[in-house]
Structure 1
Amino acid sequence: MAQRHLDPTDPTAQAVTGDALAGYLRARATEFLRALRTHRETGGVPAGGAEESVDAALLLRRSARRISASLHTFRPLLDPEWSEELRPELAWLSGTLKLEHAYEARLERLLQALNRLSGTTALPAQPVAAVAVGTLPDGARAAGGGRGTGTAPVPLNAAPPGTGGPARPAPAPERGNLTVGAAKAGALLERQLTLARTRAHSTALQALGSSRFHAVADKVALLASEVPLTPHAPGTALHPLAAAAEERLTQAVAALPLLTAGHPYNAEALVHGLSPDPSPHPQDGPWHQVRLLLRLHRYAREVLHGGNSPVAVGLLTAGQSLNRHRDASEAAAAAAQAARTPRIAPATAYALGVLHADQRHEVEAARFAFQQAWRKQTVGAS
């Protein structure tokens, strides 16, 4: 796969040095402090609260991610002790602030999927009666027709395997007409994820009032006025370090099994996803890593362009696909976790199994979309 280089025809490219890095970091630190001031003025980051509070939390995360990424990519040009101390603290802050929003978005995604699968909202090109389990894993094909077997898919309101009850007709496509299994599955997910979101909200508020956060804020405040560069950094070109970040991304993408990875419908994937083992799906790790490397590459481009990096549509599309991949992967894990709840009804467990398979299907679709976007990006840059 052809490697994409950063603006090779730009005549001023070699003039970007450590001074530009210092300017970028000062700008992001100022952005961080401005968001912090807004947060304090609005009194916190309540879920569904004032728009200013939500925007302030997002801006804090945005600034923290960019500062942390720059400290990682350009660490040879920065004081090592200072950068290695600040970078993990910024990662901790960003990770803490994102959880509440992540749980909220995950619940919304899963409830919408349940509605779609149960016939509450039919997809334009898909009959309501045929929605659901044509995408079940191979291990579940006995429950209702496998992928590519020629057997009609089973609607979500069919009786779950082993219950002995006959399949019922598909529901009419009326809003709110959820089947019993889907309704109970949705209620279970809502309880679990709302509780997790509430805890994440409390954790975020505690973090923003902690001495640990104040120490981070103090370091960022100093960064806004003085960047601890190494003595040789002001005149050192940034392009080799940015190109190294791009090379790491290119190598990671090349190692992805773009054509064969995923197989989320085989028995192995089903057994892992619904087993008592709560560990992440083993097929997803390399894709999550590529997502992080793509973010580092994008932020390195921002540094080279002084925060005004031209929009690279291919990179943007690829990044959106990987975000979808992460969201679907985490949603599938949440459905599998809910299915492990002791003593739930068979119909509820069956609905959660269908939901898990649906989200693994979304994982596969996101991988395909990334593959297409990345090929367009590399071909266009070659």
Structure 2
Amino acid sequence: MARATGPGPTADPEPGGPPTGDHLAAYLRAQATEFLRALRSHREAGNGPAGAEGAADAGRALSRSARRISAALHTFRALLDPAWADAMRPELAWVSGTLALEHAQEAHLERLLLALHRLSGSTPAPVRAVVHAGAPAPVPERGSLTVGAAKAGALLERRLTLARTRAHSAALEALGSARFHAVADRVALLASEVPLAPAAPVTGLGPLAAAAEDRLAGAVAALPLVTAGAPYNAQALIHGLSPDPAPHPQDGPWHQVRLLLRLHRYAREIPHTAPTDPRLRPAAEALTRHRDAAEAAAEAAQAARTPRIAPATAYALGVLHADQRHEVEAARFTFQQTWQHAP
């Protein structure tokens, strides 16, 4: 396996000039160091609410650094030992996905309960702290809701609290597993020694970063941006009454653009791979809202399939589903408006 050459494990490349494999190695070492720092913080977090909150923050930091390492291995694979990169990427994706799931369930619950209040025309009561399997999470009270909306909220809270508890248990199990320890050991090696291809230290990153941008541009070109450019076009509501538990295949291309945009943004974090593009952050935020709303709508639809629920509860969940699909549409409109502005 070829190893990084040049100034050593802690030195950075000389400033100036186009970025090369040496810059990639420095970036990977920095992200590996962030991973190890977050892992240490997670292990040192104590018991009680403060410790649980610290562990949750550390888990999110672990997930972020794992995503960035994985993205760099994907975009710049040609400059790395390919067998090593191909073995590391799925393991990092497993770490990131496992640790992110608990936070996602918590965010879905908060989004759906706040939407119930908004749709009911009521002001959310002061939030209460719900402590279950981790850090306290503020959840709006249901006291000012109508009966149907309150029961819908209770059903969603039961379902998503259970899902969050399971995700928390899965994360703890993963962090204590031999599989995770093997990943952590390999990241620890990466913090000091990057397996670059032989010619990588003097090979420019520009063409590979440009290829990532081209893949993003191609995926964006395939989106129905003309339709998305008209607000309230109802495109996101098509198939809303389908019996299929996942009735929105049109979400897939948008989710793919979100992933490609993330790869493009992370590639640009390595110094001087491209000039500044002010569209990237708001576009990424719009696509994240798109994903969150789509997943929340799916959760509302799945809850509405619960056997023997009251008609008023089912009606409230149906309204909630439609509301979140409108949020999907609004996020598409925001992305279109952002992306159409030339950088």
| Superposed pair shares fold, TM > 0.5 | yes
Structure-2 residue corresponding to 1:83: 85
1:265, CA displacement in angstroms?
A: 6.3
1:67 is matched with: 69
Report SS of the residue matched to 1:302: coil
The residue that corresponds to 1:129 in the other structure is none
1:47 CA drift (Å)? 8.3
Match of residue 363 from structure 1: 328
Structure 1 stretches of 5 or more lacking a match? 1-11, 123-174
1:288 and 2:259 aligned: no
Residue by residue over 1:280-326, the C-alpha shift from the partner in whole angstroms, topping out at 9 and shown as x without a partner, is: 621100000000000000000012349xx987431100000000000
AA at the equivalent of 2:234: H
CA contact (8 A) 1:14 1:239 kept: no
Q: Which residue does the alignment assign to 1:271?
A: 241
SS at match of 2:227: coil
Query: In the TM superposition, what are the counterparts of 1:256-267 in structure 2 within 5 Å?
Result: 256-260=223-227, 263-264=234-235
- Counterpart-to-counterpart distance in 2, 1:186 and 1:371: 32
> Is the 1:239–1:304 contact (alpha carbons within 8 Å) kept by the matching residues of 2?
no
- Is 2:159 the partner of 1:188? no
Rounded to whole Å, the distance in 2 between the matches of 1:48 and 1:121 is: 29
Give the TM-score taking structure 2 as reference length. Answer: 0.85
Q: What CA distance in whole angstroms lies between the structure 1 residues aligned with 2:58 and 2:74?
A: 24
Work out which of the residue numbers 18, 25, 33 in structure 2 matches 1:22.
Answer: 25
Distance in 2 between residues matched to 1:13 and 1:249, nearest whole Å: 28
Match of 2:284 among 305, 316, 319: 319
Pair 1:304 & 2:274 matched: no
Residue of 43, 54, 57 corresponding to 1:55:
57
Partner in structure 1 of residue 186 of structure 2: 219
Structure 2 counterparts to residues 195-234 of structure 1, below 5 A = 195-234=162-201
Q: Is the 8 A contact 2:290 2:332 kept in 1?
A: yes
Distance 1:118-1:103 versus aligned 2 partners, 3 A rule = same
Q: 1:330 aligns with which of 295, 300, 315?
A: 295
Taking only the aligned residue pairs, the percentage that are identical comes to: 72
2:43: which partner in 1? 40
Distance in 2 (alpha carbons) for counterparts of 1:48 and 1:263: 44
User: Which consecutive unaligned segments of at least 5 residues does structure 2 have?
Assistant: 1-14, 125-141
Alignment of 1:167-178 (within 5 A): 176-178=143-145
State the Cα deviation string for residues 177-235 of structure 1 (Å, max 9, x = none).
31111011000000000000000000000000000000000000000010000101111
User: Letter of the aligned partner of 2:182 in structure 1?
Assistant: A
Task: Report the count of equivalent residues.
Answer: 308
* Equivalent residues in 2 for 1:230-241, closer than 5 Å: 230-241=197-208
Alignment of 1:157-176 (within 5 A): 176=143
Displacement of 1:15 in angstroms is 2.3
